[in-house]
């Protein structure tokens, strides 16, 4: 690999340490419990790469076994915990807030409803009847326009459909899922360029591609199963190009646990080349690569002429941008662009994969549009074994969006829903997640139903987020475990926290959708706790009590077969869902895969989008650029371990910096500093050296959210978690 290696080249992703960690986690769970959880016919609870379902919990859609990773084991370890002792609830909120994320997660499973009255300082166990009665009373007293419904991506398609139907029949389109804080920029950008919002490839395509770009993502930590596909690409002579400001050890070499050869050799090569641009320069990176492709004359002119539009506008934009400006903004050299373009020019089947390193910016949509330009330039969308792959986080975040948990639905779906249930739904445009939070901060939200997740930790500007949530008079949480979001933002308000079943504990089968648009069936059926209920059951009981005059009883949707029949009738592409529990036939959603150059735009052609370079600005008060990231020991906002073995950190309240920046500031390894932005301050922060470009620093999410602002991308409404100007003082 050309250019610099990581400062710690001995660190390798995966390996024996991960095997031992997994074995220790299994021992803590109990071998019998672990085997039952991992082998059952239920979809993995971690990322949306997808495995499990009717072929078995450790088998993917291609039938590959064993398909399991430490993220899956971590998720199962959380769900197989014993119940939280009732004595815990004798402690005050202040005492519970002293726990860190890991300690909160390891209190155990919630196995009793909790009530916190406005002004009280404790969470008090109550009965289900009491909890439901309070929730029904609060919602009945609420103007629907002053309500907010939010779902995580771990809920099932069935619960999500009931959730959004209940919200709309209640009278609001303020219906959101966590994608507005992750891949909404992807959905918008793919909509403008190719007319869809999801991946264009299936898992099988990764087994035949000859080049994979991995941009703004760290699958060695967040999608370990994807690393297997990257390793396989290298082994068959293909290339893996990483574009990431941070030189992640696990993306250089990864010791694949199920490969004896990989373990014995000290790891398999993953990256064949590695670009480290400055944070926030992604549009410039893709512009530079596009210019280099055109200079090397490796564009696919036939594809461009036959299947795209907007190419001339892109050419003009590229001609306007000088190499000097592109190199200054990115921190890269012209030779870097030429080298990567040459590799791309040799490829016949390239896949572009990306994560929130591209979406979490104020120009996140333009970042993705510029990436798609590069793919279209060589005809890499609309063919077998090539295409676009947004790396989704939560295991069913894509499915939750597919079945309608979002503020804006197409008119076709609205009409189908109204016809199916003989109802009239509100047409007032719903607010996105940040708009709902801003409304709450202005005292314009009275009631919220929060299904799963950790909305407090998901929000930028942590102090602001707590204030906004606390101004919501009543919050109803549905959750398996407690997290920081259940003890922050509730001081002056009332809340009910209801314990729900995990996916493999559901009372009837459920379905989930992978990032490859593949729908799986989970059997459920495992019994671990005696006082938990499925989300769908809770939602149906709430809806029937709050909407007694509805033309049908929600109670019938407790039978998930009925729910799936409704989804199949209402949501285009989901027709095969109607009898999935009978046929046991899992499927790809119709119209999502692009193996031929037929696009979903009005013209049937893909569109090049000519974007402007982001402005080059210098802020002397805040001269560093911060990006937040997740550690190897966490999944989204869930913290399983405080130590990050890949990056060599042992404290989450830390920053990672370029060694030359540290020397210039006279800062030593492990010393403590203060990091400040215009939005907040982190004091007594531990410093670690890391291979990142000068002027760029890294810190963990959600701890560093205190530094991030609430401004959003105008088009996707996604906050800029990955690009914050900060200052550092000793």
pLDDT of residue 4: 37
Q: Are 359 and 716 in contact (CB under 8 A)?
A: yes
Distance (Å, whole) CA 277 – CA 219: 18
Q: Per-residue pLDDT for 19 more than 90?
A: no
Continuous H helices in 141-223 = 157-170, 184-193, 219-222
pLDDT of residue 41: 93
pLDDT of residue 5: 35
Q: What is the H or E stretch that residue 546 is in?
A: helix 535-546
| Inter-CA distances, 429 with 142, 272, 306, 548, Å | 18, 47, 37, 25
- Taking each helix axis from N to C end, the angle separating 128-140 and 535-546, rounded to the nearest 10 degrees, works out to 50
* Mean pLDDT value across residues 302-322: 97
* Mean pLDDT value across residues 56-64: 89
Weakest-pLDDT range from 69-73, 293-297, 683-687: 69-73
More confident call, 568 vs 51: 568
pLDDT tens-digit map of 636-654: 888 889 999 899 999 999 9
pLDDT of residue 409: 94
| Inter-CA distances, 178 with 404, 432, 462, Å | 13, 10, 16
Which of helix, strand or coil describes residue 682?
strand
pLDDT of residue 17: 58
Count of Cβ atoms closer than 10 Å to residue 463 Cβ? 12
* Mean pLDDT value across residues 540-561: 97
Weakest-pLDDT range from 107-121, 234-248, 265-279, 689-703: 265-279
Which of helix, strand or coil describes residue 490?
coil
Output DSSP code: residue 465.
H
Q: Ranked by mean pLDDT, which of 76-90, 131-145, 256-270 comes out on top?
A: 131-145
Confidence bin at 7 (pLDDT 50/70/90): very low
Q: Give one DSSP letter per residue of 615-681, joined into a string.
A: P----TTS-EEEEEE--TTEETTEES-S-BTTTTBS-SSEEEE-HHHHHHHT--TT-EEEEE-SS-E
Q: Token pair of 109, please?
A: 């499973």
Contacts of 476 (CB under 8 A, 6+ apart): 135, 138, 139, 447, 448, 449, 450, 495, 496, 498
Degrees to nearest 5, angle at CA 258 with 257 and 259: 95
Weakest-pLDDT range from 8-17, 305-314, 577-586, 711-720: 8-17
Contacts of 696 (CB under 8 A, 6+ apart): 245, 278, 279, 624, 625, 626, 627, 658
Degrees to nearest 5, angle at CA 356 with 595 and 342: 55
Q: Token pair of 684, please?
A: 């007594």
Q: Per-residue pLDDT for 532 more than 50?
A: yes
Q: Are 697 and 655 in contact (CB under 8 A)?
A: yes
* Mean pLDDT value across residues 455-459: 96
Distance (Å, whole) CA 37 – CA 45: 11
Q: Per-residue pLDDT for 372 more than 60?
A: yes
* Mean pLDDT value across residues 20-42: 68
pLDDT tens-digit map of 592-629: 999 999 999 999 999 999 999 988 777 889 999 999 99
Weakest-pLDDT range from 59-68, 482-491, 529-538: 59-68
Q: Are 181 and 155 in contact (CB under 8 A)?
A: no
Q: Are 392 and 398 in contact (CB under 8 A)?
A: yes
Q: Per-residue pLDDT for 69 more than 90?
A: no
Which of helix, strand or coil describes residue 697?
strand
Contacts of 705 (CB under 8 A, 6+ apart): 457, 459, 460, 461, 462, 465, 628, 721
Q: Are 270 and 1 in contact (CB under 8 A)?
A: no
* Average pLDDT of the chain to the nearest whole number: 93
CA 159, chain centre distance (Å): 19
Distance (Å, whole) CA 416 – CA 566: 10
pLDDT of residue 391: 97
* Mean pLDDT value across residues 353-382: 97
Q: Model-level pTM?
A: 0.95
Q: Per-residue pLDDT for 431 more than 80?
A: yes
pLDDT of residue 2: 41
Q: Token pair of 326, please?
A: 């592109």
* Mean pLDDT value across residues 690-696: 97
Q: Helix (H) and strand (E) counts for the chain? A: 28, 28
Q: Are 344 and 293 in contact (CB under 8 A)?
A: yes
Distance (Å, whole) CA 710 – CA 717: 10
pLDDT of residue 25: 63
- Residues forming beta bridges with residue 269, ordered by sequence position: 253
Contacts of 317 (CB under 8 A, 6+ apart): 287, 610, 611, 612
pLDDT of residue 67: 84
Q: Are 76 and 481 in contact (CB under 8 A)?
A: no
* Mean pLDDT value across residues 496-519: 97
């Amino acid at each position: 690999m050309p250019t610099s290696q990581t400062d710690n080249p001995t660190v390798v992703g995966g390996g024996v340490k991960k095997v031992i960690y997994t074995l220790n986690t299994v021992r803590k769970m109990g071998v019998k419990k672990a085997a039952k959880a991992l082998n059952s016919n239920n979809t993995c609870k971690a990322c949306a790469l997808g495995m499990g379902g009717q072929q078995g919990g450790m088998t993917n859609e291609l039938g590959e076994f064993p398909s399991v990773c430490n993220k899956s084991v971590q998720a199962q370890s959380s769900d197989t915990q014993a119940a939280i002792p009732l004595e815990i609830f004798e402690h005050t909120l202040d005492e519970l807030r002293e726990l860190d994320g890991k300690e909160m997660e390891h209190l155990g499973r919630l196995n009793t409803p909790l009530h916190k009255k406005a002004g009280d300082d404790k969470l008090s166990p109550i009965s289900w009847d009491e909890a439901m009665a309070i929730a029904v009373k609060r919602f009945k007293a609420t103007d629907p326009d002053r309500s907010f419904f939010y779902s995580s991506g771990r809920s099932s398609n069935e619960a999500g459909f009931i959730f959004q139907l209940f919200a709309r029949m209640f009278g609001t389109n303020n219906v959101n899922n966590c994608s507005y804080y992750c891949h909404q920029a992807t959905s918008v950008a793919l909509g403008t360029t190719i007319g869809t919002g999801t991946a264009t490839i299936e898992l099988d395509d990764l087994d035949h591609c000859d080049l994979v770009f991995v941009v703004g993502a760290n699958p060695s930590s967040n999608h370990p199963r994807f690393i297997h596909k990257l390793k396989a690409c290298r082994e068959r002579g293909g290339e893996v190009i990483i574009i990431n400001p941070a030189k992640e050890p696990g993306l250089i070499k990864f010791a694949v646990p199920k490969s004896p050869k990989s373990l014995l050799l000290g790891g398999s090569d993953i990256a064949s080349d590695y670009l480290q641009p400055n944070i926030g320069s992604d549009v410039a990176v893709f512009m530079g690569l596009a210019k280099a492709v055109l200079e090397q004359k490796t564009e696919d002119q036939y594809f461009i002429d036959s299947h795209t539009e907007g190419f001339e506008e892109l050419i003009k934009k590229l001609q306007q941008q000088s190499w000097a400006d592109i190199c200054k903004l990115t921190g890269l050299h012209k030779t870097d662009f030429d080298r990567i373009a040459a590799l791309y020019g040799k490829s016949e089947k390239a896949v572009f994969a990306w994560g929130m390193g591209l979406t979490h910016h104020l120009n996140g949509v333009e970042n993705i549009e510029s990436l798609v330009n590069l793919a279209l330039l060589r005809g890499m969308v609309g063919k077998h074994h090539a295409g676009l792959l947004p790396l989704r986080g939560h295991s069913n975040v894509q499915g939750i969006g597919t079945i309608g948990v979002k503020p804006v639905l197409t008119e076709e779906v609205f009409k189908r829903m109204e016809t199916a249930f003989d109802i009239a739904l509100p047409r007032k445009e719903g607010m996105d997640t940040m708009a709902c939070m801003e409304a709450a901060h202005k005292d314009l939200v009275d009631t919220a139903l929060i299904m799963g997740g950790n909305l407090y930790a998901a929000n930028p500007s942590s102090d602001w987020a707590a204030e906004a949530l606390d101004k919501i008079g009543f919050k109803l949480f549905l959750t398996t475990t407690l997290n920081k979001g259940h003890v922050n933002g509730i001081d002056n308000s009332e809340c009910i926290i209801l314990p729900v079943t995990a996916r493999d504990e559901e009372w009837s089968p459920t379905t989930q959708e992978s990032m490859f648009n593949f729908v799986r069936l989970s059997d459920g059926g495992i019994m671990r706790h005696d006082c938990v209920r499925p989300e769908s059951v809770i939602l149906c009981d709430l809806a029937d009590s709050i909407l007694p005059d509805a033309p049908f009883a929600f109670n019938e949707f407790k039978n998930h077969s009925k729910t799936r029949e409704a989804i199949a009738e209402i949501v285009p592409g989901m027709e095969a869902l109607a009898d999935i529990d009978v046929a046991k036939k899992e499927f790809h959603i119709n119209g999502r895969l692009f193996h031929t150059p037929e696009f979903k735009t009005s013209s049937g052609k893909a569109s090049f989008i000519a974007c402007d370079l982001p402005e080059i600005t210098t802020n002397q008060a805040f001269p560093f650029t911060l990006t937040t990231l997740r550690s190897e020991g966490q999944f989204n906002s869930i913290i399983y371990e405080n130590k990050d073995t890949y990056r060599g950190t042992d404290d989450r309240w830390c920053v990672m910096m370029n060694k030359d920046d540290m020397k210039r500031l006279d800062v030593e390894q492990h010393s403590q500093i203060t990091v400040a932005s215009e939005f907040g301050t982190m004091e007594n922060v531990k410093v670690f050296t890391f291979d990142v470009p000068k002027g760029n620093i890294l810190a963990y999410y959600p701890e560093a959210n205190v530094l991030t602002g609430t401004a959003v991308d105008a088009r996707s409404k996604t906050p800029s978690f990955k690009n914050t100007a900060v200052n550092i003082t000793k």
